[in-house]
């Protein structure tokens, strides 16, 4: 894993439609959930809106793993990105406004959704393949 994100990695995170987010509960039991995300390349941060187990886990243990990938029967075409991230809940202010704007721009399903909060996943380390 490396710290600096390449342009290809940034572009891949930005364009990916689903990101699997791994977290752990207070006992260390892992959990993975497919979530819709919006990526802010300048801030190295992916934003997700969820209120389920992932959100509860990240409030207690603010470390996560993100994975975005594509599978092809032709394995020479496999590609994806995995990252370790620090999480924090965003409840107000300019960062929540930015997260909401990015999520609504990427997913029309969020057009009428009311956001009370979002989870910011700031990427610390990243690894990729096939890009």
Q: Look at the chain and report how many structural domains it folds into.
A: 1
Q: Would you call 101 helix, strand, or coil by DSSP?
A: helix
In a domain, 21, yes or no: yes
Q: Are 50 and 119 in contact (CB under 8 A)?
A: yes
What is the full per-residue pLDDT of the chain (131 aa) written as tens digits?
778 899 999 999 999 999 999 999 999 999 999 999 999 999 999 999 988 999 999 999 999 999 999 999 999 999 999 999 999 999 999 999 999 999 999 999 999 999 999 999 999 999 999 99
The domain in which residue 100 lies consists of: 7-129
In a domain, 45, yes or no: yes
| pTM of the model as a whole | 0.93
Q: Give the domain CATH number at 82.
A: 2.30.110.10
Record the tokens describing residue 1, joined without a space: 């894993």
In a domain, 63, yes or no: yes
């Amino acid at each position: 894993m490396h710290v600096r994100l390449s342009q290809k990695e940034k572009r891949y995170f930005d364009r990916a439609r689903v990101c699997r987010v791994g977290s752990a509960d207070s006992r260390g039991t892992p959990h993975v959930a497919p979530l819709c995300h919006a990526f802010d390349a300048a801030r190295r941060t992916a934003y997700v809106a969820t209120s389920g187990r992932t959100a509860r886990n990240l409030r207690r243990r603010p470390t996560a793993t993100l994975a975005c990938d594509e599978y092809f029967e032709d394995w020479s075409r496999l590609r994806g990105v995995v990252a370790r991230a620090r999480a924090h809940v965003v409840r107000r202010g300019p960062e929540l406004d930015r997260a909401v704007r990015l999520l609504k721009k990427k997913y029309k399903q969020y057009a009428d959704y009311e956001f009370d909060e979002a989870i910011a996943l700031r990427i610390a380390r990243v690894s990729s393949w096939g890009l």
